[in-house]
Amino acid sequence: MLTLPLPALANSDYQSLFAQARYTELLQRMEQDPAARRDPQLMLLMVRSLIQQQFREEANTLLNQLIEEFPEHSALLTQAALNKIALANSGNIFNARKRATDGLELLQKAISLDPENYLAQQALINFYQVAPATAGGSKPLAAELAEQLFAKNPVQGTLARAGIAVAEGRLSDAQALLDAQLLQTPDNTELLLRKGAVLTQQSAFLVAQQTYLQLLPLLSDPVSQQNVHFQLGRLAVFTERYRLEGIHALESYLSFYDNSQQPRLPRARLRLAQLYLAQGDIVRARALYQQTARVVLDEADFIEARAQLAAQLEQR
């Protein structure tokens, strides 16, 4: 039986597939679309789809080809750098130093091509902050670049300063830096996202929850919206506050990522089951628990929460 080629998609359709974590479908579509191979922005989606599926070596091979084909594409260089640094941190120790050095050089080139590439600038500062000196790390240089960035762009500079504070375990200092800048730019979504994350690290769950509730109506990007929905749901379990908001958030999350490869789906189902049970909806809590009962996740908090939920359901 012949398999007919799928029709080519518009760029926005590919972006939607990526946003909805439908990575395999996106890759299959792109492999049948000759025009996609000539579009560096679409190839970025292909690379990120591979990375999201933990195919970092395959992504590295493809990125090496792409930065040869598009040597002045700052975003591609940045993605290649980030992937090499991730591989250096997790891979073969004999390849680590070269990959880290290559990643550093690519970040520097990406910034020289596009001085407004803040993703690359943040990554470069983080590299200098956390990498060992033998691999090119330099905490003084990280601090210097963060100050230069602050002079150029206070929001990005604050994010860099806060990142350094977090890396050094100074969570209260990071929070103070973010709060100070939020007085000047109270609706900046990047600052609010980082504030929510830092508060969660500090176990200030209620304030984090309130920060995410403040942030949500300011977001237009669907992926960012769903990330906040996920956080609102799990925080509602911890605080036992804003449960209805948490339920609505996780219901939206599960609907958005239905039939997808989103790896956080089991955790979202588990947290929603916990919230349903807390609200007395035993039927829906039990149904969602059944969907997570056989999921294999090597994460202590997931295993513990699932066992606790199972025990609670047995008593009902």
Note the pLDDT of residue 281: 97
pLDDT band (50, 70, 90) for residue 2: very low
The sign of the dihedral angle between the CA atoms of 199, 200, 202, 204 is positive
User: Residue with structure tokens 């349903």?
Assistant: 276
Q: Please say whether the beta carbons of 121 and 150 come within 8 A.
A: no
Q: Which of 267, 251, 265, 254 is nearest to 303 (CA)?
A: 267
Mean pLDDT, the chain, as a whole number?
A: 94
Q: Which two tokens stand for residue 108?
A: 């520097």
Q: Please say whether the beta carbons of 232 and 216 come within 8 A.
A: yes
Q: Which two tokens stand for residue 196?
A: 């929510």
* Domain edges within the chain: 153-202, 203-316
Class of domain 203-316: mainly alpha
User: Residue with structure tokens 């260089």?
Assistant: 77
**Strand, helix or coil at 204?**
coil
Other CB atoms within 10 Å distance of the CB of residue 30:
22
CA-CA distance, 27 to 49, in Å (whole number)? 7
Q: Please say whether the beta carbons of 42 and 26 come within 8 A.
A: no
Contacts of residue 244, defined as CB under 8 A and 6 or more positions apart, other chains included, come to 279
pLDDT, tens digit, 9 for 90 and up, residues 285-303: 999 999 999 999 989 999 9
Q: Which two tokens stand for residue 86?
A: 């991730």
pLDDT, tens digit, 9 for 90 and up, residues 27-76: 999 999 999 989 999 999 999 999 999 999 999 999 999 999 999 999 99
Angle at 66 between CA 62 and CA 72, to 5 degrees: 150
- Among 83-97, 132-146, 262-276, the range scoring the smallest mean pLDDT is 83-97
The Cβ-side half-sphere exposure at 133, using a 13 Å CA radius, reads: 2
Q: Packing angle between helix 265-278 and helix 300-314, nearest 10 degrees?
A: 30
Note the pLDDT of residue 12: 86
Q: Which of 193, 205, 282 is nearest to 241 (CA)?
A: 205
In this prediction the pTM is: 0.92
CA-CA distance, 123 to 113, in Å (whole number)? 15
CA-CA distance, 87 to 148, in Å (whole number)? 29
